[in-house]
Structure formats: structure tokens, C-alpha cells
């Protein structure tokens, strides 16, 4: 508990530190990560399904249809600071489910709870109908790195010619912080905890003629806060990667029965088609150097930002105006002024 003493009566502190929403409404890269996607990166939709419902498909990845998405912070945002400079309070991804008057009506079954791996092994014995749409982090290697991969990159993963892990691959952290592939979690006999499960809004299976949103609210506390740290690191590195997958049981030629989403190239196919959206809720960290404290060094950076109430923060210090707002606008009124400085002063010390 911070002690704000007499200062608290002067300002509207109650509004502070909830965090401001930063919206990324168009990915830099979005791609259906599937062996038979012959137009990688430019395809208008991406679907998510598994391959474990058919014993013939032993060389395919269990999570066969994967939607890979990445967003880049633009110049107006404070990307590129040290990871610890970002106080991330919430992360929401919204995908738009494909539906239209003329295409096959989506009829995948909504299941909001992960199914144990042994229920999804052949023959399927899933007690609750449907399989959840799950969101995970994205790891790279051995072919690609987070710098070299883009939405047009050549597919790496299992197909009818042979088995291999995906690259990029969806992952969860283990207890040591190692990134563990989840695309073959049935073969590997474990049940990963997704970072988020997709919750569709206004979706009526088998009777849906308009696109609909599917929200994924990330549990940042998972793996002892390593999931939150992942987002901090990706903001710092300049591209935020996520994978949406499912073990949805389907047959080879099925036209529906599994979730399918618009990519950014799908905008225009329907008036309600939307690109994958990422919304970060960021609070002022007061810690531009990203270490474990708010100290005099951070104070020096704040002093360089100070421009007075309702003014754009000053350039010329160690931070740009956008970075000043990102790190020091405690009361979220789009300036860095003495109110913010007072908030910083009462919160100095170890984080
Ligand atoms: Ca794309
Ligand atoms: Ca189920
Ligand atoms: Ca610091
Ligand atoms: Ca302010």
C-alpha cells in the first residue's frame, strides 16, 4: 500500500493507474499456418482444427490449422523501451469469425474448457462437445527467428510427406521457463494450459450469416508471470506474435465444423469483416530504464518530459514525447505535468 499523505486530496488519483488502452487494429503479419495453404500471407481467412480424429494422419501436427498473427507498434507508440518499462495490465485479442450469406454456415461447437490430451487421442472420447479455440505464445527455430519470419515465409511443419514440428510453433512455458511446443500435445501426451480461450459473442452455430467477434483475454499471470514478461519482451523487440489453434475434430473434406477467421486480407469480403485486433492495457510504469526500481535516474527522465498541464511532453531528454506519456502519464490525461510528478514522487522505491 502506497502512502500518498496530504497529496491525495489535491488530485483525482482514483482515475490513475488503471491503464490506458493501446489498440493495434491491423497486424503486420497474419497467416494460415497449414501445409496446404498455397497463398501464405495473402489468404483472406484462416481456420483452426486438429488432425487427431483420423488415425491415417500420423505425420500431421495434432494442431494442424493454426492462425499465426503478429502486430508491430508504429512510430507513435513507445515500442523499443526496455521490457521492464512496460506495465501491462491486460491483453485482449479479438478475431472475427467468418460467416456470410453465401459461404458455408459456421457450425463449430463452442467449448470454453481445454480437453485433456487423452480424450483427443484416436478414437476421440470428448465428454463435452466441441474443442476450445486456444491462444498461445509463438516460438521460433530451427529454420526461422522472430526477425527472419514473415507471413509469406515457406511452411515448416508436418504434412503428408513426413512429420516435423512447426516453425514458428505455438508454445507454453514449462516450470523452468523453457518454451514447450504444443502443436503435438496429443502425441506428446500432455495438456497445455492456453494463455486464453476464445469466447464468441453473438454466435449461433448453424444459423450464423454475419461475422461475429471472438474475444481472447490473456491470463498474464500464467507460468509465474512469464506470460506477462513475454508481452513486455515483444513490445521491447518491436513485434508481438501470437498463435491461435484448436484440436477441433474435423474430416479432410469438411467445409465447416471448425472455426475460421478473417485475416487482414479478408477485409472487404464482408462489411463486418475485421482484421485481428490486439488491445493492450498499459499503465505508467515510472520506470523507463526497466530495472527494478523508480529512482533518481527515472526521475531525471521524467523531469525532461515535463511540459505543463495539457501540453505535449518535451522531446530532447532520453525519451520521445510518446515514450514520456507511455511511462509517466500516471493520471492518463495525455500530459506529463506536476500531478504526474507528484504520483511518481510518492511511488519511488523498489518495484
Ligand atoms: Ca496476411
Ligand atoms: Ca470438449
Ligand atoms: Ca528504474
Ligand atoms: Ca498526466
Q: Is residue 331 domain-resident? A: yes
Taking a C-beta distance cutoff of 8 angstroms, is the pair 228, 235 a contact? Answer: no
Q: Of 138, 114, 144, nearest to 127 (Cα)?
A: 114
What is the C-alpha separation between 146 and 12, in angstroms, rounded? Answer: 42
Q: Is residue 101 domain-resident? A: yes
Please give the distance, rounded to the nearest whole angstrom, from the Cα atom of residue 296 to the centre of ligand 3. 8
What is the C-alpha separation between 243 and 46, in angstroms, rounded? Answer: 11
Looking at the fold, whether 262 and 332 belong to one and the same domain comes out as no
Please give the distance, rounded to the nearest whole angstrom, from the Cα atom of residue 111 to the centre of ligand 2. 6
3-class secondary structure, 303? helix
The domain tally of the chain equals 2
DSSP 66: E
Please give the distance, rounded to the nearest whole angstrom, from the Cα atom of residue 81 to the centre of ligand 1. 27
Please give the distance, rounded to the nearest whole angstrom, from the Cα atom of residue 209 to the centre of ligand 1. 23
Taking a C-beta distance cutoff of 8 angstroms, is the pair 270, 211 a contact? Answer: yes
Q: Of 244, 285, 233, 227, nearest to 95 (Cα)?
A: 244
> Which of 263, 280, 297 is the endpoint of a domain?
280
Q: Is residue 125 domain-resident? A: yes
Q: What is the pLDDT of residue 316?
A: 67
Looking at the fold, whether 265 and 306 belong to one and the same domain comes out as no
Please give the distance, rounded to the nearest whole angstrom, from the Cα atom of residue 249 to the centre of ligand 2. 10
- Element containing residue 179 per DSSP (H, E): strand 179-181
Ligand nearest to the CA of 17: 4
Looking at the fold, whether 272 and 224 belong to one and the same domain comes out as yes
Looking at the fold, whether 77 and 157 belong to one and the same domain comes out as yes
Q: Is residue 3 domain-resident? A: no
> Which of 225, 246, 280 is the endpoint of a domain?
280
Looking at the fold, whether 74 and 96 belong to one and the same domain comes out as yes
Q: Is residue 68 domain-resident? A: yes
Ligand nearest to the CA of 337: 4
Q: What is the pLDDT of residue 206?
A: 93
Taking a C-beta distance cutoff of 8 angstroms, is the pair 237, 71 a contact? Answer: no
Q: Is residue 167 domain-resident? A: yes
Looking at the fold, whether 71 and 45 belong to one and the same domain comes out as yes
Q: Which three cell numbers stand for residue 75?
A: 512510430
Rounded to whole angstroms, what are the CA distances from 336 to 25, 303, 329? 26, 9, 5
What is the C-alpha separation between 281 and 168, in angstroms, rounded? Answer: 26
Q: Of 166, 143, 184, 171, nearest to 58 (Cα)?
A: 184
Looking at the fold, whether 247 and 341 belong to one and the same domain comes out as no
Instruction: Give me the DSSP letters along 253-278.
Output: T-SSSS-EEE-GGGTTSSTT----EE
Looking at the fold, whether 213 and 288 belong to one and the same domain comes out as no
Mean pLDDT per segment of 10 residues, for the chain of length 351 residues? Answer: 30 53 95 95 96 91 98 86 97 96 90 98 94 98 98 97 97 98 98 98 95 98 98 96 96 83 96 97 96 96 91 82 93 94 96 92
Q: What is the pTM of this model?
A: 0.93
Please give the distance, rounded to the nearest whole angstrom, from the Cα atom of residue 66 to the centre of ligand 1. 13
Ligand nearest to the CA of 41: 1
> Which of 260, 280, 300 is the endpoint of a domain?
280
Looking at the fold, whether 332 and 271 belong to one and the same domain comes out as no
Please give the distance, rounded to the nearest whole angstrom, from the Cα atom of residue 325 to the centre of ligand 3. 16
What is the C-alpha separation between 144 and 314, in angstroms, rounded? Answer: 40
Q: Of 80, 47, 40, 52, nearest to 66 (Cα)?
A: 47
- What is the span of the domain harbouring residue 81? 21-280
Rounded to the nearest angstrom, the gap between the alpha carbon of residue 33 and the centroid of all alpha carbons in its chain is 16
What is the C-alpha separation between 158 and 64, in angstroms, rounded? Answer: 8
Looking at the fold, whether 217 and 237 belong to one and the same domain comes out as yes
What is the C-alpha separation between 84 and 179, in angstroms, rounded? Answer: 20
Looking at the fold, whether 315 and 221 belong to one and the same domain comes out as no
Looking at the fold, whether 275 and 299 belong to one and the same domain comes out as no
Angle at 105 between CA 104 and CA 111, to 5 degrees: 125
Taking a C-beta distance cutoff of 8 angstroms, is the pair 198, 191 a contact? Answer: no
Q: Is residue 15 domain-resident? A: no
Please give the distance, rounded to the nearest whole angstrom, from the Cα atom of residue 263 to the centre of ligand 2. 26
Q: What is the pLDDT of residue 7?
A: 31
* Cβ atoms < 10 Å from Cβ of 191: 15
What is the C-alpha separation between 123 and 55, in angstroms, rounded? Answer: 8
Q: Is residue 262 domain-resident? A: yes
Amino acid at each position: 500500500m502506497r502512502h500518498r499523505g496530504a497529496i491525495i486530496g489535491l488530485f483525482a488519483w482514483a482515475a490513475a493507474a488503471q491503464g490506458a488502452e493501446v489498440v493495434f487494429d491491423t497486424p503486420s503479419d497474419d497467416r494460415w499456418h497449414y501445409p496446404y495453404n498455397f497463398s501464405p500471407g495473402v489468404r483472406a481467412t484462416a481456420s483452426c482444427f486438429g488432425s487427431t480424429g483420423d488415425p491415417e494422419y500420423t505425420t500431421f501436427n495434432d494442431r494442424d490449422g493454426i492462425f499465426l498473427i503478429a502486430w508491430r507498434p508504429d512510430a507513435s507508440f513507445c515500442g523499443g523501451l526496455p521490457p521492464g518499462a512496460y506495465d501491462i495490465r491486460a491483453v485482449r485479442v479479438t478475431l472475427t469469425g467468418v460467416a456470410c450469406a453465401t459461404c458455408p454456415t459456421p457450425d463449430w461447437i463452442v467449448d470454453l474448457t481445454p480437453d485433456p490430451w487423452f480424450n483427443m487421442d484416436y478414437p476421440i472420447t470428448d465428454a463435452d462437445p466441441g474443442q476450445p479455440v486456444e491462444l498461445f505464445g509463438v516460438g521460433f527455430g530451427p529454420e526461422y527467428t522472430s526477425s527472419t519470419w514473415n507471413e509469406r515465409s515457406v511452411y515448416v511443419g508436418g504434412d503428408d510427406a513426413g512429420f516435423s514440428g512447426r516453425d514458428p510453433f505455438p508454445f507454453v512455458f514449462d516450470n523452468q521457463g523453457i518454451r514447450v511446443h504444443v502443436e503435438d500435445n496429443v502425441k506428446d501426451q500432455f495438456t497445455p494450459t492456453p494463455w486464453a480461450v476464445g469466447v464468441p459473442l453473438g454466435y449461433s452455430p448453424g444459423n450464423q450469416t454475419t461475422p461475429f467477434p471472438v474475444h481472447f483475454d490473456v491470463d498474464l499471470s500464467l507460468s509465474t508471470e512469464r506470460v506477462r514478461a513475454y508481452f513486455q519482451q515483444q513490445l521491447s523487440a518491436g513485434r508481438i506474435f501470437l498463435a491461435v489453434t484448436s484440436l477441433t475434430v474435423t474430416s479432410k473434406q469438411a467445409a465447416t465444423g471448425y472455426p475460421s477467421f478473417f485475416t487482414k486480407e479478408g477485409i472487404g469480403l464482408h462489411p463486418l469483416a475485421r482484421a485481428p485486433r490486439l488491445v493492450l492495457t498499459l499503465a505508467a510504469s515510472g520506470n523507463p530504464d526497466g530495472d527494478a526500481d523508480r529512482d533518481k535516474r527515472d526521475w531525471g527522465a521524467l523531469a525532461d518530459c515535463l511540459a505543463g498541464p495539457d501540453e505535449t511532453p518535451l522531446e530532447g531528454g532520453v525519451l520521445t514525447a510518446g515514450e514520456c506519456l507511455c511511462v509517466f502519464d500516471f493520471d492518463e490525461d495525455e500530459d506529463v505535468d506536476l500531478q504526474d510528478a507528484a504520483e511518481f514522487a510518492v511511488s519511488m522505491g523498489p518495484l
